[in-house]
Structure 1
Amino acid sequence: MNGSHLEMKSFTITCWNIQGLRSSAFGLKSRNSDFNRELKDSDIVLQETWCREDVSTGCPHGYTEIIIPSTKHPTITQGRDSGGMIIWCKSELSQSITVIKKEESYIWLKINKKIICAEQHVYMCAIYIPPSESPYYNPDIYSILEEEINHYKTMGNVLLCGDLNARTGERADTMNTQGDKHLPGSTCFPLPECPTRKSFDKLTNTSGMQLLQLCRTLGLYIVNGRLREDSLGRYTYSSALGSSTVDYFITDLDPMSLRALKVNPLTPLSDHSKITIYLKRAQSNSGAPSAYELFNSTYSYRWTPDSMGAYQKALENQNIHDLTHLFLTETFPIIILV
């Protein structure tokens, strides 16, 4: 599928662990032309930066910035900081994207339903979860997420994204309800109908098991390995030590409101791939014809015994051939009134 065509018709959210906004090889990566080419046209960009709050990030023109600074564990005196995120949102969307909650390792944004094809507002959690063996790992993070997702599900749909350091293999992330589309228990969430998930990564770790349980409990599903552009579930991380899938988009949105999920090839900028989800964008009705462009017909037409021959003769006219070809090859926008 043509990428530019997808971006023109979609609301795009890009998630990329760039392993530090600065490096000895590239300097400030946001000044690198290849880096900017990767992020061009994304509506929302989430990146892990390893940066403190007081450093320049090189936020691109036309975007506003939200910063979560990196942290330093009190028992660690050497080495870089951990975590840290920046979120760049297109400035023109500032009235439609709102910061709801901001914590040390994650942030909740509200995406107004008027800019995407959704019946409800979307509450997006951008998060970084360190490996379970890291001193920065919070063993309560999945309990915290469960409580907060429960809260935001009462107000709209939920979209979770980021580097979770969780390997889920091809294990089930949704409940097999055998025809019952609700989870058992006191709280019942409708389960979306979605394709079977595939993944290049066949292994599961401890964090992965917790993530799968979170999905099954709350009626969420992993988008990776289910949509076009990533129907096989590509690796999102590769290094000399091996490859894995640890960067995710997870949601309870109707899959019909999603167009694709793309895992880009690795670049020298990071061992993580950039992943982008394409949501159906709500088109404005500015392209709808105005009243003065509509005309009442002054003719009435009635089919007669001679009409068949006249109709066939008319179709043979070269001008009609040209007009028909033009109509069949033209792309017409779908107008959605919101």
Structure 2
Amino acid sequence: MPYENPAALRITSPGLCRDATFSSKHALHLLSWNIAGWSAKQKNLDLIAHLNKSDIIFVQEMWSTQNLTLDGFSITCLPATPSLPKSKGRPKGGLALLISTSTSARIKSLSSCNNIAMGVLLSYNTISFLLINVYIPPYSSRVLTDQAWEDLDRYITDLEAQSPRALLIIMGDFNARIGPNNDALFASNLWGGEVIDHYSSIYGRISKDSRINYGGICLTRLIGSRNLIMLNGLNQVDPCAEYTYISGQGSSVIDYALISQHLLKTILKFTVGNRQDSDHLPLTLSICLPERGRLTFAHNQMANPLHYTHKRTFWSPLVASNVALFLTSPSGLAIKEKITNATNPFSVLTDYDTLISKLKMSLMLPSPSHRAINRTGLPRWFDKDCLDVKRQLRQTYLHYRLQNANTLPPEYFIIKKKYKSMIVTKKRQAVHEGWKALIHASRTKNSKSFWELVSGSMRPSNLAPCHISSHT
């Protein structure tokens, strides 16, 4: 392979943290996911539990003009934009960066790049990370594609100039396909005669995706010009080189994780996850932190406090019981002992922050809602039939991963089609039943049922802005 980097091939295990100044005991866990709509998934407790395993979350295509909220995270959002003029049509795009309040880091929200990228500077005592979340739509023309990638390149240049010592981590959905390996990529006629010798230092990699598009050429230019490392398919880091997008139209690798060269020695793990909540699969990345990296207690110092949201807590016997239960538990008593026996202020602040984070789970009760919710946090129409098909879909995908096959089995797409069709049918049936119940409450003059049904459907996200004139 003439374009492989010999240095990359000599790496015996990039997945191991080999620098003495970094420790695997202090790891930072990142997740990037094109979630394909946040509002429909935010009540899914299983999904929320999965997200809570990460310290930093890159979210693409949240499809909401409202800011995303999630307890325990400092959140910076780039809301979606309406797909039609005059704020009409389903919102498209939308990015969010979520950083756990337990990371003990300074967080600075940075400017955004049109509607395709946003950044955050994350600083510890001895190290800073420049986090950039990207979503580049699948443009239909090269002119628009070139413009988006040029904008992204200038944006990264500006942010790096502001924080020249920060280590770069770029994750997101690029809608770029770069073929099975570098040989195929550089042999593509999409380069149009461009001299590509200066890209020969790009690290060797493999992929299950055999196709190349113009976005892939733009992505390669970005990687080569900035001397970045792509983790997807990198030898020893991602040997399976899995698809990141799966649909009935085909599978592809379009979601990527890019890092600075200096971060390679800190990589603990990089994987493509197994979640069937979106057509995109999540990317997970774990990196080592410096030994002293978690001593800074300043994660509440945010550039924009409006991104930090709170929920009102109503005191009740149940809340009091939950708090008392935690404070007398082994975990609560252990934290209390650490605080009372601490020998320095940093330990006190860190342990106190841990106590507050744990108490939130006792204090934050589910918001009142008149919509029927089952124990998984999903709407009641998402019944056992839906759960069984979703479980079957996940198991089929897991079996494919265990076999390390090159293509997904046909039955996976059959089950997925059945799953999506079932969800549409169940949801329509639930809406129909809701209307029947509303009409019945109106005809029988049952005001209590009527207003419960109406208030359950009048959530803020469903209401259009209302302008009342001064004469009213």
TM-score interval for Structure 1 and Structure 2 normalised by the shorter chain: 0.5 to 0.7
1:308-319 paired onto structure 2 within 5 Å: none
Q: Given the alignment of the two structures, is residue 112 of structure 1 paired with residue 147 of structure 2, yes or no? A: no
Give, in angstroms, the shift of residue 109 of structure 1: 1.3
- Give the C-alpha shift of residue 79 in structure 1: 4.4
Matched, 1:256 2:273: no
User: Please, what TM-score do these two structures have when normalized by structure 1?
Assistant: 0.66
Say whether the 8 Å CA contact 1:66–1:88 is kept in structure 2: yes
Paired with 1:202 and 1:219, the residues of 2 have a C-alpha distance of 24
- SS for the counterpart of 1:276 is strand
Deviations 1:155-175 (A, max 9, x none): 0332211011111113439xx
Matches of 1:73 and 1:134, distance apart in 2: 18
| Counterpart secondary structure, 1:41 | coil
After superposition, the Cα gap between the structure-2 partners of 1:227 and 1:18, relative to the gap in structure 1 and judged at 3 Å, is farther
Counterparts of 2:178 and 2:293, CA distance in 1: 42
The alignment status of 1:130 with 2:137, answered yes or no, reads yes
CA deviations 1:112-164 (Å, max 9, x no partner) are 2547xxxx5321210111002289x6641211222233344450332211011
What does 1:198-277 correspond to in 2, within 5 Å? 198-226=206-234, 228=236, 230-254=238-262, 255-267=264-276, 269-277=277-285
What number of residue pairs does the alignment pair up? 253
Q: How does 1:5-154 map to 2 (within 5 A)?
A: 9-23=26-40, 29-48=41-60, 49-53=62-66, 57-59=68-70, 61-74=71-84, 79-93=89-103, 95-103=105-113, 104-112=115-123, 114=125, 121-133=128-140, 139-154=146-161
Q: 1:252 to 1:58 in 2, by over 3 A?
A: closer
Deviation at 1:102, TM superposition (A): 2.3
Q: Which has the higher helix share?
A: 2
Contact 1:167 1:205 survives alignment (8 Å): yes
* Secondary structure at 1:100 match in 2: strand
8 Å CA contact 1:16, 1:273 repeated in 2? yes
Q: Which amino acid aligns with 1:262?
A: T
Q: Distance in 2 between matches of 1:270 and 1:286?
A: 33
Sequence identity, in percent? 24
The structural deviation recorded for 1:84 is 0.7
Provide closer, same or farther for how the CA distance between residues 286 and 203 of structure 1 changes in structure 2, counting only shifts above 3 A. closer
Q: Distance in 1 between matches of 2:125 and 2:235?
A: 23
The alignment partner of 1:125 has SS state of strand
Q: Which amino acid aligns with 1:16?
A: W
* Cα distance change, pair 76–250 in 1 and its aligned pair in 2 (3 A): farther
Change (3 A) 1:31 1:229: farther
Q: Deviations over 1:256-311 (max 9, x none)?
A: 122221101231x1111111111112234999xxxxxxxxxxxxxxxxxxxxxxxx
Instruction: Give the 3-state SS of the residue equivalent to 1:42 in structure 2.
Output: coil
Q: How far off its partner does 1:205 sit?
A: 0.7
Which sections of structure 2, spanning at least 5 residues, go unmatched? 1-22, 187-197, 296-472
State the shift of 1:11 in Å.
0.5
Structure 1 position 101, deviation (Å): 1.7
Q: Are the aligned partners of 1:124 and 1:159 in contact in 2 as well (CA < 8 Å)?
A: yes
Q: Cα deviations across residues 16-70 of structure 1 (Å, max 9, x unaligned)?
A: 11100133xxxxx12212212321221111112000126xx441x2211111110
Name 2:169's counterpart in structure 1: 159
